[in-house]
Structure 1
Amino acid sequence: MLDREAVRFLISEWADGCTVYDRRYGDTHALNHLTAAVFRLALAAPGSCRATIAAQLAEEFSALNSPEWISTIDLALEQLVNSRLIQGQS
């Protein structure tokens, strides 16, 4: 994770996900387990494509890396972008 991003976010882990306090905007977000995992990967490897994130998480979540799974990852990414926690891909 980038140092500036580590400073930007205060993350509290929970059994079913995490809460993220965004110091830049003063917002707090509750993320479910899957969205939290997508968030961690997006922070660790900015610019990762959705297919890469889906493949990396498919095993962790015992999911088939199928079009439906990629759609689920897309929804999580969209939530993170809309919440201003990550930047959308250009």
Structure 2
Amino acid sequence: MLLSSLLKVVVASLCLGSIIAQKVTQDQPQVLGQEKEAVTLDCKYDTSDSRYSLFWYKQPSSGGMILLIRQDSFNQQNATEGRYSLNFQKARKSVTLVIAAS
């Protein structure tokens, strides 16, 4: 199964108070994997703000966006939520989403 169809849109947003600004890049345009297999997605971002939040979403073929996980810049621990976990590297301005095998 093509993972890009499972995670059609993965968005990392930088929320800066009431203003939303973002510069997000993904070097891997799509990831191939089998259903229920572990997957890793890398993302780099840029912001000049010292406090921000990163959000990962998925968009199934039905169209609605579903929040998977969130990481706040001031939190020293990597966020985890069920099968989803983040490797947040603030100094490198990168965040990796890991989806564990089910």
Write 1 or 2 for the structure with the bigger share of strand: 2
Write 1 or 2 for the structure with the bigger share of helix: 1
TM-score range, shorter chain: under 0.3
TM-score by length of 2: 0.23
Q: Name the larger-Rg structure.
A: 2
TM-score by length of 1: 0.25
